[in-house]
Structure 1
Amino acid sequence: MTFRIHGLPLSPFQPLFDLEDAALAALGARGMIADAPHAAPCRISLADAEPGERLILLNHRHRDAAGSPYRAEGPIFVREAAVEAALQPGDIPDMLGRRLLSVRAYDADWMMTDADVVEGRDLAARLDLWFADPAVECIHLHTARRGCFMAAARRA
C-alpha cells in the first residue's frame, strides 16, 4: 500500500504575514524568528525553519470532524517563505523523519482505530501497515513530546 503525506494549504495563512504584532495577538497568534535549527517545523512546507527565518505561531483546528469526539486543534508554525509541500508517494520529509512521532489512525467517520508512538525513521513501514487495513482512511502525525499536529497521511 502506498501513502502520501500532506501539509496544510498556504492560502489561509498568507494574509497573517501582513498583520502587525497587535493584530496577530488579537487572533491568539505570534510573529517569531526561528532561533535554532530544527526547532520550528512548518506545517505548509513540511520543512524546519532555518535560524533567522520569520514565522508565525498560531492555533489551528486540524480536525474539525462533525459528529466525532476526536475534533482537535493546537499550535502550528508557518514559515513566511513557505511553499506548499508536494511530496511523492512514500516520501517522508526530513522534519518528520528526525522526530519521535505520535501517530493516530482514523476511519471514514473520524473515529480513532489505532495509535502508536513511532520513530520518524520507521514511519513509512508503520503507515504501510496501517493503510493495509481498509478501515483506515487518514493518519495524523503529531510530535510525541509536545503533541503538536505535524501533517496528515492518506493513501496515494
Structure 2
Amino acid sequence: MTTFTALPTDIVDAYRAGAPDAHGNPPERHISNGSGNPCRHCLRDVPEGAEMLVLAHKPFDGTHPYAEVGPIFLCADPCVRSSGADLPQILTTSPDYLIKGYGKDDRIVYGTGAVTPRPEIADRIAAIFADPKVAYIHVRSARNNCYLTRADRAP
C-alpha cells in the first residue's frame, strides 16, 4: 500500500507568508488558468481564476548532487493538505509521469526511474517499492520534470 505525501502545511504557510523559495526569492503570485497548475499541498489543480504561488522548491533536506530544485505551484489561499492512498487528482491529468525511487540517503536508486503511463502508476510504484533499497518515491511531470508529490510505503 502507498501513501501520497503532500508538502507539509507549515512549509506551505511559510511560502504563503512570503518566505523565500529555494533560490532565496519570494514566491511569485499569478492567476491560475484552471489546468496545468497542480498545487503540491491539496494535490489538486489550482481552480481557474484563483490566485496561486509559483516558486522554486527543493523537496530534499540539505544540498547534494541529487537535491533537484524546480518550479512548483501552490494555492495562494488556504487549502486542505491531501493525504491518503488514493491517487491524487494531480496524477490523473497527464498521459504519463516520471517516477523514481530514492534511498535513505536521498540519492536516486538507479534503475527505478521510468516515464510511466497514468494507468500503470500503481503497479510501477509497487514494483519500485519491491526494491528494499528504496525508501520513498518522487512522482514528477514527465514533460517538465517538476516535482508533484512523494509516495511512501503505508505504515
TM-score range, shorter chain: 0.7 to 0.9
Secondary structure of 2:116's aligned partner: strand
Aligned-residue sequence identity (percent) comes to 27
Gaps of 5+ in 1: none
Does residue 40 of the first structure (1) align with residue 41 of the second (2)?
no
Distance change in 2, residues 1:135/1:65 (3 Å): farther
Larger % of strand: which?
Answer: 1
CA distance in 2 between partners of 1:124 and 1:141 (Å): 11
Residues 93-132 of structure 1 correspond to what in structure 2 (within 5 A)? 93-99=88-94, 100-113=96-109, 114-132=112-130
1:81 and 1:39 map into 2 onto residues whose CA distance is 19
Structure 2, unaligned runs of 5 or more:
none
Out of 25, 28, 33, the residue aligned to residue 27 of structure 1 is 25
TM-score (norm 2): 0.85
Match of 2:81? 84
| Paired residue type of 1:139 | I
Report the secondary structure of 1:134's partner residue: coil
RMSD across aligned C-alpha pairs, in angstroms?
2.1
Q: Does 1:7 align with 2:6?
A: yes
Deviations 1:5-42 (A, max 9, x none): 101012223244455xxx99x8242101112x322100
For 1:39-58, list aligned pairs within 5 A.
39-58=36-55
CA contact (8 A) 1:42 1:77 kept: yes
Taking structure 1 as the reference length, the TM-score comes to 0.84
Aligned equivalents of 2:48, 2:89: Cα separation in 1? 16
